[in-house]
Amino acid sequence: MAVLRINGGKRLYGETVVQGAKNSALPCLAAAALGRECIVHNCPDLTDTKAGLKILNALGVETSFENNTVITRAPKCLSCSKINDELMKEMRSSVMFLGAILSKCGEAEISYPGGCSIGARPIDLHLKAFSQMGVNIREEGERIFCKVEKLKDAKIKLAFPSVGATENIMLLGVVSDCEFEIENPAREPEILDLRNFLNSMGGNISEGKNGNLLIKGVKALGNTEYKIIPDRIVALTYLSGIALCGGYGEIKAVRPDHIKLPLKFLEEAGNDIKCGEDYIEIKAPRRMREFGIINTMPYPDFPTDAQAIFMAASLLSKGESCFVENIFENRFGHIPEFLKMGANIRICDNSALVSGVKRLKGTELYAKDLRGGAALVVVALSAKGESIIHNTEFIDRGYENIERSFSDFGGEIVREG
Ligand code: EPZ
Rounded to whole angstroms, the Cα distance separating 143 from 9 reads: 50
Q: Are residues 209 and 306 in the same domain?
A: no
pLDDT for residue 114 is more than 80: no
Q: In what order do the strands lie in the sheet with 179-183?
A: 154-157, 179-183, 213-216, 205-207
Instruction: Identify the pLDDT of residue 205.
Output: 98
R_g over Cα of the chain: 21
Q: Is the Cβ atom of 232 under 6 angstroms away from ligand 1?
A: no
Mean pLDDT for 398-408 is 97
Instruction: Identify the pLDDT of residue 295.
Output: 98
Choice from 88, 118, 121 to test ligand 1 binding pocket (greatest atom count within 8 A of CB): 121
Contact 312, 240 (CB under 8 A): yes
Contact 69, 41 (CB under 8 A): yes
Which burial class, exposed, middle or buried, applies to 252 when counting CB atoms under 10 A from its CB (0-12, 13-18, 19+)?
A: middle
Nearest CA owner, ligand 1 atom 43: 123
Say which DSSP state 176 is in: S
Number of domain units in the chain: 2
Q: Is the Cβ atom of 159 under 6 angstroms away from ligand 1?
A: no
Single out the residue in 202, 227, 252 at which a domain terminates. Answer: 227
Q: Is the Cβ atom of 119 under 6 angstroms away from ligand 1?
A: yes
pLDDT for residue 42 is more than 90: yes
Bridge partners for 5 per DSSP: 388, 414
Rounded to whole angstroms, the Cα distance separating 105 from 243 reads: 49
CA of 164 to the centre of ligand 1 (A): 6
Mean pLDDT for 187-205 is 98
Q: Which atom of ligand 1 is nearest to the CA of 188?
A: 12
Instruction: Identify the pLDDT of residue 92.
Output: 84
Q: Is the Cβ atom of 160 under 6 angstroms away from ligand 1?
A: yes
Instruction: Identify the pLDDT of residue 120.
Output: 84
CA of 328 to the centre of ligand 1 (A): 8
Q: Are residues 237 and 222 in the same domain?
A: no
pLDDT for residue 414 is more than 80: yes
Q: How confident is the model at residue 171 (pLDDT cuts 50, 70, 90)?
A: very high
CA of 161 to the centre of ligand 1 (A): 9
Q: Is the Cβ atom of 291 under 6 angstroms away from ligand 1?
A: no
Q: Which atom of ligand 1 is nearest to the CA of 161?
A: 24
Q: pLDDT per residue over 7-17, tens digit each? A: 999 999 999 99
Mean pLDDT for 338-350 is 98
Instruction: Identify the pLDDT of residue 121.
Output: 85
Single out the residue in 201, 227, 253 at which a domain terminates. Answer: 227
Choice from 23, 47, 123, 237 to test ligand 1 binding pocket (greatest atom count within 8 A of CB): 23
* Catalytic annotation, residues: 116
Q: Are residues 372 and 258 in the same domain?
A: yes
Residue percentage of the chain with pLDDT more than 90: 91
Q: Is the Cβ atom of 256 under 6 angstroms away from ligand 1?
A: no
CB neighbourhood size of 77 (10 A): 9
Rounded to whole angstroms, the Cα distance separating 258 from 278 reads: 11
Q: How confident is the model at residue 38 (pLDDT cuts 50, 70, 90)?
A: very high
CATH assignment at residue 262: 3.65.10.10
Q: Are residues 64 and 205 in the same domain?
A: yes
Q: Are residues 251 and 395 in the same domain?
A: yes
Q: Are residues 299 and 320 in the same domain?
A: yes
Q: Are residues 243 and 303 in the same domain?
A: yes
Q: Are residues 278 and 345 in the same domain?
A: yes
Q: Is the Cβ atom of 163 under 6 angstroms away from ligand 1?
A: yes
Q: Are residues 148 and 160 in the same domain?
A: yes
Q: Which atom of ligand 1 is nearest to the CA of 126?
A: 40
Q: Give, in order, the Cα–Cα distances in Å from 103 to each of 77, 267, 408.
A: 10, 45, 44
Q: Which domain holds residue 128?
A: 22-227
Q: Are residues 179 and 49 in the same domain?
A: yes
Q: Are residues 250 and 215 in the same domain?
A: no
Choice from 160, 233, 301 to test ligand 1 binding pocket (greatest atom count within 8 A of CB): 160
Sequence letter at residue 5: R
Q: Give, in order, the Cα–Cα distances in Å from 62 to each of 38, 200, 259.
A: 11, 20, 35
Instruction: Identify the pLDDT of residue 116.
Output: 82
Single out the residue in 200, 227, 254 at which a domain terminates. Answer: 227
Q: Are residues 289 and 408 in the same domain?
A: yes
